Amino acid sequence: MGKVSFGLAVAVSCAVASTGIAAVLVVRRVRRRTRWNRVLGVLKEFEEACSTSVGRLRQVVDAMAVEMHAGLASEGGSKLKMSLSFVQKLPSGNERGIYYAVDIGGTNFRVLRVQLGGKRSAIVGCDAERQSIPQELMTSTSEDLFDFITSSLKQFIEKEGRGSELLPGRRRDLGFTFSFPVKQTSASSGHLIKWTKGFRIEDLVGRDVAECLQQAVNKKGLDVRVSALVNDTVGTLTLGHYHDPDTVAGVIIGTGTNACYLEGMDAIIKCQGLLRTSGVMVINMEWGNFWSSHLPRTSYDVDLDADSPNPNDQGFEKMISGMYLGEIARRVILRMAQESNVFGPVSPGLSMPFNLRTPLMSVMHEDESPDLREVARILDDTLGIPDVPLKVRRLVVKVCDIVTRRAARLAAAGIVGILKKIGRDGSGGITNGRTRGSSDSNMRRTVVAIEGALYTNYRSFREYLNEALVEILGEDIAQHVTLQVTKDGSGVGAALLAACHSSNIVDRDGSP
């Protein structure tokens, strides 16, 4: 072969090779774009399925109010239990003395001592000790559970030292906050219906939890009387009402979610014949189990529910509360990782159920650093996904945002559902012979006491909830509604109710 023809051959093969390389690069780029588009598709589909337009939220409001009616009409009339709390009067503010509470219901366990001074809002002192509930306790035996509670209580009382001894014949009154579905038989007794929030201590289901605690307390040799059995929502409403008598409802948004409110006895059809000591009773809605076809449910919710120990149960809670939000986000991110390689190979950390806890999800969501450093750190440390590019980190933030926004807006719709049921949402109702319509002139000041670390610690959640409340109610009506955080309300409220039902009572006068 001559020099010229050899050179030509080299040039041709170089051209072919570079065309080939270019083609490969183009194919790769197209594939990458296709995969990226697929990830964006997952995001878009998720976002659309989570849509919470005001119109849809109003449908949820209406459904909540309808289900409340049904649950009050008959036992089992609705997925909303609408449980009677037997609390027909709330503390008046005149109670005096030292009262105790233990509060169990999710992630944290609290023991409290409250000193009441006898004037409205006169909580002279309040000491509380908090600890995480050991994971293994959640699926142990009732003996282990009550041993844990009474050991903590014993240590707490022993630390009081001198001066805290009881007068002869007196016992310490204790409110027991137990935040799982209970069928109350009085203000100080009730049977566990079922466990929620990952707890499963089978031998306690169907038993009187207050009686079990009293027996465990006696066994420990403590001079304590379980004077009130209280749901955390009821404790929160009680403390809220103690500080502000315009408080009509208590809402919990923590590990789980639930609400209670003050209902007129006449509206509680299913409790006709019950001894009335006042015109109202606190109703524990158990709204975590609320369900409506108007709820924006995604395939991720369906799968999470199917994989849970309590399928078809606690549907509202599974969309809203702290136990589940991180898990929903993890499932969406996992799907994205499976659809493409934007997260590299699917890591075992990402595949592990409940590996992304909601507090970490909130840290990612609220990461304000320009390069989303916290997002990268959590993806790496917790989910085992290193070196995530910035644009993918932004995607993760967006997933967290969608999950939280939907949850907070649904919680807001739930709250407005209560207001609607009791005629405090500014709609309908007849006043002075005229239909009120959307006028706010007759709207009374309305306070909703709220507690739970998801609401108090997660700013974006709180802002989305407050914003949705105004959107649903309209500004004119919303200005009359206050959401009031009641710190430790579930526990302090239980101590207040223990004071109300105390046998050592100094002054028990009072009505809601």
Contact set with ligand ADP (CB under 6 A): 105-108, 254-255, 322-323, 358-359, 362, 452-454, 457-458
* Residue 83, SS3 per DSSP: strand
Report the alpha-carbon distance of residue 228 to residue 217 in Å, rounded.
14
DSSP H/E element including 183: strand 182-186
Of residues 88 and 314, the one with the C-beta less far from ligand ADP: 314
Q: Which residues, at least 6 apart from 67, have a Cβ–Cβ distance to it below 8 Å?
A: 78, 79, 80, 290, 292
Task: Find the shortest distance in angstroms from Cβ 106 to ligand ADP.
Answer: 3
Choose the one of Mg ion, ligand ADP, none that binds residue 458, judging by a C-beta under 5 to 8 angstroms depending on kind. Answer: ligand ADP
Choose the one of Mg ion, ligand ADP, none that binds residue 54, judging by a C-beta under 5 to 8 angstroms depending on kind. Answer: none
Choose the one of Mg ion, ligand ADP, none that binds residue 322, judging by a C-beta under 5 to 8 angstroms depending on kind. Answer: ligand ADP
Task: Find the shortest distance in angstroms from Cβ 488 to Mg ion.
Answer: 9
Contact mark string toward Mg ion, 220..249, x via CB under 5 A = ------------x-----------------
Site size for Mg ion (CB under 5 A): 4
DSSP state of 441: T
Of residues 111 and 392, the one with the C-beta less far from Mg ion: 111
Give the CA radius of gyration of the chain: 28
Of residues 78 and 490, the one with the C-beta less far from ligand ADP: 490
Task: Find the shortest distance in angstroms from Cβ 455 to Mg ion.
Answer: 11
Choose the one of Mg ion, ligand ADP, none that binds residue 349, judging by a C-beta under 5 to 8 angstroms depending on kind. Answer: none
Report the alpha-carbon distance of residue 510 to residue 88 in Å, rounded.
10
Report the alpha-carbon distance of residue 423 to residue 444 in Å, rounded.
10
Choose the one of ligand ADP, Mg ion, none that binds residue 489, judging by a C-beta under 5 to 8 angstroms depending on kind. Answer: none
- Give the dihedral sign, CA 288/289/294/300: positive
- Give the dihedral sign, CA 393/399/402/404: negative
Binders of Mg ion among 463-492, rule CB under 5 A?
A: 490
Instruction: Report whether 128 contacts 508 (CB < 8 A).
Output: no
Report the alpha-carbon distance of residue 281 to residue 268 in Å, rounded.
9
Binders of Mg ion among 79-138, rule CB under 5 A?
A: 105
Contact mark string toward Mg ion, 155..184, x via CB under 5 A = ------------------------------
- Rounded to the nearest angstrom, the gap between the alpha carbon of residue 482 and the centroid of all alpha carbons in its chain is 19
**Residues of the shown chain interacting with Mg ion in the complex, contacts defined by CB under 5 A:** 105, 232, 254, 490
